[in-house]
Structure 1
Amino acid sequence: MGVAVSKGAAEGALTGFPPAPWHLGASGLVSVFLVDEDRLPGSFAELRPAGWRPFRVGGRVVVTVSSISYSEGGVLAYDEIVVATPVRRGASVGASVPQIWVDSEASRNGARALWGIPKELAQFHRTTTAKSVGAGMDLDGTAAVRLSAKIGLPLTPRRLKLPDFSLIQRFAGSEFVSRHFVVTGVRLARVSWAFGEGGPLGYLRGLKPLVSVAMPDVALVFGFETAARPV
């Protein structure tokens, strides 16, 4: 007697990663930095489609750095450091991801193929309590990121569905526009970051976040709609 296999499971077995959309659970920290454009690596422009421009405040580019842990129960479980910039083209707004690391080959391969997100592999460690987080990312055995966070008061009275957001990417000869949504609560956080000198995030050394928040209980539907075209 044969075993029935769902279309999604069959696709995942063939590709090594789940089909879109990805239903994920997570907890995360997000910090906002303001960075002089001449400090930014070339990937910020190279992986952003033509015509899209980064948001600026006081002449500096808005850059977010997030430490996220995706939990068991979603389609994948892994840790991640992601760097993003809000972008706009005319009245359209979105975000672009020039740098991102994970500790899951399935996450790396799927994100690249489905949405043009340039994930690389790294090693992570994390310790958490109800009121604190300590985490780090290593590349080839060298410390690239260290962070410590204190979690503060809630900014939202309960978990809320945030506005849908778009990621705008140029990767491997194609442009991708993908849509996602998040349900989460948001809390104040105080996050101290340390970035390895000479590492891929070294351009942030010496900068302090403008603001940081914690999202301790996130439900995310990633890539519920995607358009891709060759360029």
Structure 2
Amino acid sequence: MTAYPPEPWHLAGQAYVSLWRLPVADLPKLPDGAEPVVLGGRAQVIAAWIDYQEPGQLSYHELLSTVAVRGKRPSASITDIWVDSEVSLAGGRALWGIPKNLASLGFTHGRTFTATAATDDWIATAAFTRRPGLPIATPAAFDVVQALGGQLKRSPVAAKAKPHPAIADWSINALGPLGYLAGRRPVVSVSLRDFTLRFGG
């Protein structure tokens, strides 16, 4: 059994995020009881590459896709997620019901950030070119909503990051688990520099 830190986890690093708007019929499966936020007949899907770094408790790479869902405050449900850390996988599943899987993830940082994710086959690649932004850490708070023990669990997240607009070029395997995003262009993309994150209660 893999040991992992108790919640909350205190994490830090760099994140690269894109937002898509999809017809509800094209969404991946959500946990029972979770309802997507629908605006103008479309739901909101956010996918992100995250490089967790020191001084956070854990260091690893991650690719995830989430759907904005209804809640008393901004909320999202993680439908697809890959990490390259067995500790993160075990803790995410046991503590919060996050359906983490292992994958090979490669990140290259620079003015243009590039990333790849693959298991037996490739999942996705992306390149983010960061634009100038304010050097001010902006706070955010939201809930992650997952199925755990046959019930919906809402886990609070508090974060701070320096947001920068970005131009993102995604390539997604249409036959892979993120195929619902293949061939679609994100509405907006951002780089979240030097984030700090408190995940869980």
Tell me what 1:153 maps to.
Answer: 132
**Residues in 1 aligned to 2:15 and 2:73: alpha-carbon distance in whole angstroms:** 26
1:131-170 equivalent positions in 2, closer than 5 A: 131-140=111-120, 142-154=121-133, 156-162=134-140, 164-170=141-147
TM-score, structure 2 normalization: 0.93
Runs of 4+ in 1 over 3 A off after TM superposition: none
Of 28, 36, 39, the residue aligned with 1:57 is: 39
Instruction: Assess, with a 3 A threshold, how the Cα gap between structure 1 residues 221 and 93 changes in structure 2: closer, same or farther.
Output: closer
Contact 1:168–1:176 (CA<8 Å) still a contact in 2?
yes
**Structure 2 letter corresponding to 1:138:** A
**Residues in 1 aligned to 2:185 and 2:139: alpha-carbon distance in whole angstroms:** 29
Structure (1/2) with the larger helix percentage:
1
* Secondary structure of 1:180's aligned partner: strand
**Structure 2 letter corresponding to 1:139:** T
1:1-231 equivalent positions in 2, closer than 5 A: 16-41=3-28, 43=29, 45=30, 47=31, 49-50=32-33, 52-89=34-71, 91-129=72-110, 131-140=111-120, 142-154=121-133, 156-162=134-140, 164-223=141-200, 225=201
* Secondary structure of 1:107's aligned partner: helix
TM-score, structure 1 normalization: 0.82
Contact 1:33–1:63 (CA<8 Å) still a contact in 2?
yes
Unmatched segments (≥5 aa) in structure 1: 1-13, 226-231
Tell me what 1:229 maps to.
Answer: none
**Residues in 2 aligned to 1:125 and 1:157: alpha-carbon distance in whole angstroms:** 27
**Residues in 2 aligned to 1:199 and 1:65: alpha-carbon distance in whole angstroms:** 15
CA RMSD of the aligned region, Å? 1.6
Tell me what 1:10 maps to.
Answer: none
* Secondary structure of 1:54's aligned partner: coil
Unmatched segments (≥5 aa) in structure 2: none
**Structure 1 letter corresponding to 2:123:** A
* Secondary structure of 1:113's aligned partner: helix
Contact 1:86–1:96 (CA<8 Å) still a contact in 2?
yes
* Secondary structure of 1:82's aligned partner: strand
**Residues in 2 aligned to 1:116 and 1:179: alpha-carbon distance in whole angstroms:** 13
Tell me what 1:3 maps to.
Answer: none
Number of aligned residue pairs: 201
Percent of aligned pairs with the same amino acid:
35
**Residues in 2 aligned to 1:173 and 1:184: alpha-carbon distance in whole angstroms:** 33
**Residues in 2 aligned to 1:40 and 1:180: alpha-carbon distance in whole angstroms:** 23
